[in-house]
């Protein structure tokens, strides 16, 4: 059986410690955010965050999918600030900044 992976899709992930005394922390301790992006465009095509509820997972994915990593983190952080009012906000922002840092590392490596 052949490999069916689209070689234009790359995975990046970021992690952050969750605050104490919230449900997600008792389940996960660390928040993970993973995104798949198209290396030709920088656009996130799929995303997942280790949230406790399905609605939170879906909401975060909907904020991320379609976002162009080439646009930098600022607009996305503004969206998190405006639309996400859960207890894991700082952890989400930290994990996404890690994703952006890894994207910059990926771009630097791919230009060598």
Where do the domains of the chain lie, and which CATH numbers do they carry? 9-110 (3.90.1010.10)
- Whether residue 25 is predicted with pLDDT greater than 80 in this model: the reply is no
Instruction: Note the pTM of the prediction, 2 decimals.
Output: 0.86
Query: pLDDT per residue over 55-73, tens digit each?
Result: 999 999 999 999 999 999 9
DSSP one-letter string for 64-111: HTT-BGGG-SHHHHHHHHHH--STTHHHHHHHHHHHHHHHHHHHHHHT
Mean pLDDT of the chain, nearest integer:
88
- Cα dist. 83→6, 60, 77, 86 in Å? 32, 10, 10, 9
- Whether residue 28 is predicted with pLDDT greater than 60 in this model: the reply is no
**Residue 26 pLDDT level (bands cut at 50, 70, 90):** very low
- Whether residue 93 is predicted with pLDDT greater than 80 in this model: the reply is yes
């Amino acid at each position: 059986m052949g490999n069916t992976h689209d070689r234009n899709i790359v995975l990046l992930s970021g992690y952050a410690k969750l605050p104490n005394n919230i449900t997600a922390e008792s389940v996960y301790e660390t928040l993970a955010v993973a995104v798949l992006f198209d290396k030709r465009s920088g656009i996130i095509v799929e995303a997942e965050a280790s949230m406790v509820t399905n609605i939170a997972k879906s909401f975060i994915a909907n904020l991320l999918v379609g976002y162009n990593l080439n646009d930098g983190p600022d607009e996305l952080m503004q969206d998190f600030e405006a639309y996400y009012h859960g207890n894991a906000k700082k952890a989400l922002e930290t994990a996404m900044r890690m994703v952006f840092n890894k994207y910059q590392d990926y771009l630097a490596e791919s230009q060598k």
